[in-house]
Amino acid sequence: MAAVGCGVTFGVGAVLERHDAANGEVQMDRRSAAAAEAVRTETQRYVDTLLTTAAAAGAQEVLTRSEYAALTEPLKSMKLAGASTIAFVVPAADDRIGEVQSLWRERGAPDLVLDPYGHGDHAFSIYLTSLDGSVLTPGLDLMRGEAPAAALAASRRSGTVAVSDTYQLLVDARKPPEERQNSFVLAAPVYQGEQRRFLGWVLLGVRGQDFMGATLARAGQNLLDLTLHADDPERRELTVASLRAKVEGERDLIRTVVVPVADGTWTLHLGAVRDRLPGATSGLPSAVVGGGLALTTLLTLLVWVLVAGRERAEERVRRATEELLAGEEESRRQAELLLAVLDGISDGVGVVGPDGRFLLHNPAARRILGRHAELMAAGGWKDQFGLYRLDGVTEYPPEELPLTRALNGEGSEQVEMLVRNPAHPEDRVISVSARPIESAAGERGAVAVFHDITDRKHVENELRGFAGVVAHDLKAPLAAIRGYAELIVEALADPDPAAVADALRSAGRVMAGADRMHTLIMELLDYTAARDATMRVEDVGLRELVDDVVTARTDAPDATGCRPDVFVGALPRVRGDRVLLRQVLDNLLGNAIKYTPPGQAPRIDVTARVDGSGAVRVQVADRGIGIPDGEHAAVFDSFHRASNGTAMPGTGLGLAICRRIVERHGGHIEAMPNPGGGTIFVFTVPGVAAERELQDNAHTV
């Protein structure tokens, strides 16, 4: 902008400058011509005056001193600047000097003394009229001065006015240098009578500076330097007058004009400072350049302000954008973090809007409620989620649902209900807490947290039954122990042999009761451990495990002397907790032996095979009393004892422990009737790998 502005400005300035320069030349030409004209006019006035005087002098029959004084008198009032003397001069040869002197003494110059200079022709001043008040002596030989002599000769030769070269008057030579000036003479021949006889000359002495000073001052108007030179045959610079204008600066307009003066020419040198010459410069270029530069500066400033303003605005926008992006990034990060947290937690979290549609729900919420995201978004949860009261029959009234209440501004904590829908055909018990929330826009919504408490409820129920059974099963032997202990005390108080024998029996029963309590307590601990103990999963050789259990169980024959007959098939290696798996096998083998009719040797087959999914199906089959129909599933419940087995000692916890352990291994366990009589128990457990793990290690113990 600045560059273009300056370029245009200086361009226009240059054009105008050129225009002004041309103007200056024209002005200078005009002024030079005017000055030359002034000089010419003024000199012409002197020439004319001289010619008139010469003519008047020639017109006299006898030019006496007084007549000459009379005819030159008007010159005094003509204000011929610089004119010092007007003299009447006559020629005289060497041999006629005395004659001439006598003649003019007679005509009115009685005291005339001619003072010849050198030899030859002479020109003596006869009459002198002072025009500047100076006192002059006539009789001088003008041939003494080179310049006047030349002028006189030229004048006589041409018959008209001649101008001399400049020269310094003797008077002036005595003055201080600054007052000295060059003078010149104008000479006009005087012819007398009809015959025009040459009588002499009229000679006007003029001081150049005084003569032209005023003229030059008028012509120069204090703007031009003017120097008037008389032309010299030898080309010397003979200054007539000069004037320097009181103007500072380089004279860049120079002119030289030739001015005709009488029979010769003078040269007028002019000099001027262009910028100071009125009309020479319009001032426009400077004004244009100045104005242009000012305008350019202003525009540049304006543009700069605009650009700077725009840059500032852009900077602000950029910063705001950055902050916005950073804020957005932060919000996005937080949202992602929140979503990651929500996705990761096991609690279900859902947020519903005022219309009941889910605005947000995490995977746990969908899993717990058993519904797809689409359904949740559609807001159909009130009647489509299959929500029931804990009795499993009464549908949960929509208006009492925690989310409904939260939307109405009422929070609720841990409300339990059942969920039953296609995704959860088996009842799930959930706990719901909900609270009203309000968005920044003032819209009311609700947030709910869902817990699947099915397992906890199950455990609670179990514990409840457990507590009842434990209370019963521990109270019964305790009551027996107490009763028998009292009998022992009574018998010992009366130490008769029969009473002692009774006391010993009672003591035996006390011990049996204590054993039962011990067994129960141990099994309770096992049961708890089966659920809570940390699993140490490793490769377990099923074969060794079974051998170990069988050995322990079959070491001693039972009371009837029957030894169990156990067939152990090919058994693979499995992945599991060695101690817990041993407990499963021990319980199953123990039951197989225990639930075999007395006096009959237990026959047990332990076999295994790897199924299609790589799991190992372990089968324990016996030929015992079997489980009554309809109770094959129930026997796995804790404390459940089948109706036909109550004669045997037991707690009803063994199979419950088995199921818990198998399930912790990711498998399942079931019981089924053995077609050949007795019962078959089958459980699955993860296999180590493949069929090759099956060892051909079948044998009979």
The first and second tokens of residue 165, run together, are 């070269």
CB of 624 to ligand ADP, least distance (A): 4
Stretch touching ligand ADP by CB under 6 A, among 167-175, 264-272, 314-322, 635-643: 635-643
Pairing assessment for the beta strands 197-207 and 121-130 based on DSSP bridges: unpaired
Which of 457, 573, 641, 665 is in the footprint of ligand ADP by CB under 6 A? 641
Stretch touching ligand ADP by CB under 6 A, among 337-345, 426-434, 541-549, 637-645: 637-645
Which of 625, 661, 680, 682 is in the footprint of ligand ADP by CB under 6 A? 625
As a whole number of angstroms, the distance between CA 97 and CA 567 comes to: 195
651 binds ligand ADP (CB under 6 A): yes
CB of 639 to ligand ADP, least distance (A): 8
As a whole number of angstroms, the distance between CA 397 and CA 536 comes to: 47
Stretch touching ligand ADP by CB under 6 A, among 155-163, 216-224, 538-546, 621-629: 621-629
Residue partners of 435: CB distance under 8 A and separation at least 6? 406, 411, 446, 447, 448
Question: In 3-state terms, what secondary structure has residue 147?
Answer: helix
CB of 365 to ligand ADP, least distance (A): 38
Which of 635, 669, 682, 694 is in the footprint of ligand ADP by CB under 6 A? 635
Question: In 3-state terms, what secondary structure has residue 433?
Answer: strand
Which of residues 285 and 645 has its CB atom nearest to ligand ADP in the complex? 645
473 binds ligand ADP (CB under 6 A): no
200 binds ligand ADP (CB under 6 A): no
User: Is the CB of residue 564 less than 8 Å from the CB of residue 602?
Assistant: yes
As a whole number of angstroms, the distance between CA 654 and CA 635 comes to: 9
Which of residues 382 and 640 has its CB atom nearest to ligand ADP in the complex? 640
Stretch touching ligand ADP by CB under 6 A, among 25-33, 317-325, 491-499, 652-660: 652-660
CB of 616 to ligand ADP, least distance (A): 21
280: amino acid identity, one letter: A
As a whole number of angstroms, the distance between CA 108 and CA 559 comes to: 209
The first and second tokens of residue 686, run together, are 């993860």
CB of 647 to ligand ADP, least distance (A): 9
User: Is the CB of residue 662 less than 8 Å from the CB of residue 685?
Assistant: yes
With CB under 6 A, what is the number of residues at the site for ligand ADP? 20
As a whole number of angstroms, the distance between CA 252 and CA 205 comes to: 35
The first and second tokens of residue 536, run together, are 């140490």
**Residues between 561 and 620 with contacts to ligand ADP, criterion CB under 6 A:** 591-592, 595
CB of 629 to ligand ADP, least distance (A): 12
As a whole number of angstroms, the distance between CA 72 and CA 54 comes to: 10
CB of 343 to ligand ADP, least distance (A): 41
User: What's the 3-state SS for 228-288?
Assistant: EEECCCCCCCEEEEEECCCCCCCCCEEEEEEEEECCEEEEEEEEECHHHCECCECCHHHHH
Which of residues 213 and 654 has its CB atom nearest to ligand ADP in the complex? 654
CB of 476 to ligand ADP, least distance (A): 15
Closest residue by Cα to residue 451 from 420, 428, 430: 430
155 binds ligand ADP (CB under 6 A): no
CB of 598 to ligand ADP, least distance (A): 14
As a whole number of angstroms, the distance between CA 413 and CA 515 comes to: 46
CB of 642 to ligand ADP, least distance (A): 3
Closest residue by Cα to residue 421 from 471, 389, 447, 383: 383
Which of residues 145 and 602 has its CB atom nearest to ligand ADP in the complex? 602
Residue 407 Cα distances to 331, 346, 376, 399, angstroms: 27, 24, 16, 10
Name the strands in the sheet holding 264-272, side by side, starting at the edge strand that comes first in the sequence: 238-243, 224-230, 264-272, 253-261
Which of residues 220 and 654 has its CB atom nearest to ligand ADP in the complex? 654
650 binds ligand ADP (CB under 6 A): yes
CB of 644 to ligand ADP, least distance (A): 6
Stretch touching ligand ADP by CB under 6 A, among 171-179, 530-538, 597-605, 636-644: 636-644
List beta partners, residue 429.
418
CB of 662 to ligand ADP, least distance (A): 13
624 binds ligand ADP (CB under 6 A): yes
Count CB atoms within 10 A of the CB of residue 675.
Answer: 8
Which of 38, 481, 642, 688 is in the footprint of ligand ADP by CB under 6 A? 642
The alpha carbon of residue 161 and the mean position of all alpha carbons in its chain are separated, in whole angstroms, by 94
Which of 138, 285, 645, 687 is in the footprint of ligand ADP by CB under 6 A? 645
Which of residues 180 and 640 has its CB atom nearest to ligand ADP in the complex? 640
Which of residues 616 and 653 has its CB atom nearest to ligand ADP in the complex? 653
**Residues between 677 and 696 with contacts to ligand ADP, criterion CB under 6 A:** 679
Which of 227, 622, 682, 683 is in the footprint of ligand ADP by CB under 6 A? 622
User: Is the CB of residue 578 less than 8 Å from the CB of residue 540?
Assistant: yes
Which of residues 141 and 526 has its CB atom nearest to ligand ADP in the complex? 526
343: amino acid identity, one letter: D
The first and second tokens of residue 361, run together, are 């729900």
Which of 189, 513, 626, 687 is in the footprint of ligand ADP by CB under 6 A? 626
Which of 81, 615, 627, 669 is in the footprint of ligand ADP by CB under 6 A? 627
Stretch touching ligand ADP by CB under 6 A, among 195-203, 352-360, 607-615, 634-642: 634-642
Q: HSE on the CB side for 390, CA within 13 Å? A: 11
38 binds ligand ADP (CB under 6 A): no
Residue partners of 349: CB distance under 8 A and separation at least 6? 342, 360, 361, 362, 364, 365, 447, 448, 449, 450
Which of residues 225 and 622 has its CB atom nearest to ligand ADP in the complex? 622
CB of 559 to ligand ADP, least distance (A): 18
Which of residues 2 and 517 has its CB atom nearest to ligand ADP in the complex? 517
User: Is the CB of residue 596 less than 8 Å from the CB of residue 551?
Assistant: no
Count CB atoms within 10 A of the CB of residue 232.
Answer: 13
As a whole number of angstroms, the distance between CA 52 and CA 188 comes to: 9
Applying CB under 6 A, the residues found at the interface with ligand ADP are 591-592, 595, 622, 624-627, 635, 640-642, 645, 650-655, 679
